Structure 1
């Protein structure tokens, strides 16, 4: 999917008046599974990307080029779904932001999300955060908007100021970012239903809700979110949180039982695994394009 088409598709979804679900992924396999599950959008989580690519916490260790590379692979695997990609702090000032936007556009994302933390940043639901001056972030938002080659690329502005400056200050910051041209506002880590509702009353643009499992933000269903003005609900870590105990269980079983038989968790069959990663499609393509029988994929 081209960046322009992806952005237009995401904008159409955001205009439907409901909260669109975008499960978080860290890699191409997870993106493929999201598409096969019938979702309409994919969210590339920076926290999960750090966990999968580095095996480390999200404390600003990934570079822009590493994130863009991951985004491009996710776009390729997402089956045409629009990809919302975490772009951290934009990786520098306005000129850096210009390059960031253009690199993410080339990767084919539908939207990129930038935040007002200082660099190095950290996961939005961790403590010890700090934010840049609001005007500095507004300048980066303007730089992102002005750097788009395609106006359909969605710019999501996130503020982490609730934990640093308080709720009202965070709303004021978000208002400034909206005035700077952000298409979607994301106030990170509201602490109550009342704060979620107040965000919805303050803004007349699409809002993003983060269904983090940290417990800082109340868990709420998408129908209720939609009534508050939230048009995008991201589930950043749920896929990787589900994978960790399953991987631990099978590793413990192999270690302790001496083999892989009678696994304690549900396992994909070899056929299911190969269907999931598109082997049948590859085999059909080979058949259609003259690959010798001895070289065709079989399973």
Structure 2
């Protein structure tokens, strides 16, 4: 069986941090050199932001608004680049006999709204694990209408549909044998629309306005 050792090591590190630290301070990294400098500065984790990828580091080489317009493999590609830079820094450190900096920091990656349904979430999570991500977060917006959290007009999917997305992501991590940390976040605080009302769990929150 293929071992995804970077993702596995990073996931264990992230889980330990979540259970021992009151919070984890971090920044979004756009380049490998930024990730290395974050490790040197003492940060314990690195974030990969979909907003940043849309604006300045996607595989279309475009500057997009935060609307999930970029190719879905852009975030896995950046995660891989960051891990490659961190690995190189770690190798140099070991070759010089230095052990004072942990360069192999866990990376938490933004999976947006999954770029589709459960199948797309499975493939995206798989790609992120292969790139070495420790954690992945999904939001409960309708992928086809995804908007930045600060914008109006957001459309949510039913709770049951979001659970299917998360289950697909968990299945991907189970298939690859990596204890990926999955983070579920909601835009319900400011969203005004729901894609449909078939889920009875949502009924108590529907105002009809």
TM-score, normalisation: structure 2? 0.74
Offset, 1:55: 2.3
CA RMSD of aligned residues (A): 1.9
CA deviation after TM superposition for structure 1 residue 128, in Å: 2.3
Q: Are 1:15 and 2:14 matched, yes or no?
A: no
Aligned mates of 1:27, 1:98 — CA distance in 2 = 26
Report the structure number with the largest CA radius of gyration. Answer: 1
What's the secondary structure of 2:182's corresponding residue? strand
Contact 1:112 1:154 in 2 (8 A): yes
User: What pairs up with 1:122-141 in 2 under 5 angstroms?
Assistant: 122-141=147-166
| Counterpart secondary structure, 1:157 | strand
Cα shift at 1:17: 4.1
| Residue of structure 1 equivalent to 2:7 | 3
Match of 2:42 among 38, 58, 74: 38
Q: Does the Cα contact within 8 Å between 1:25 and 1:49 map onto a contact in 2?
A: no
1:87 matched residue in structure 2 = 111
Preserved contact between residue 26 and residue 46 of structure 1 (Cα < 8 Å) = no
Q: What stretches of structure 1 of length at least 5 have no aligned partner? A: 167-171, 174-299
Secondary structure, in 3 states, of the residue corresponding to 2:155? coil
Q: Structure 2 unaligned runs (5+)?
A: 87-102, 194-200, 203-209
Residue by residue over 1:101-131, the C-alpha shift from the partner in whole angstroms, topping out at 9 and shown as x without a partner, is 1111100010011111112412222222111
Structure with greater contact order relative to length (CA < 8 Å, sep ≥ 6): 2
Q: Tell me, in whole angstroms, the C-alpha distance in 2 between the residues paired with 1:75 and 1:127.
A: 35
Deviation digits for residues 59-84 of structure 1, max 9, x if unmatched?
Answer: 11112112211111122224310000
Report the Cα distance in structure 2 between the residues aligned to 1:15 and 1:28, rounded to whole angstroms.
Answer: 27
**1:28 Cα shift?**
2.1
User: Matched residue of 1:25: which SS?
Assistant: coil
Structure 1 runs, 4 residues or longer, greater than 4 Å off: none
TM-score normalized by structure 1?
0.53
Give the match's secondary structure for 1:21.
coil
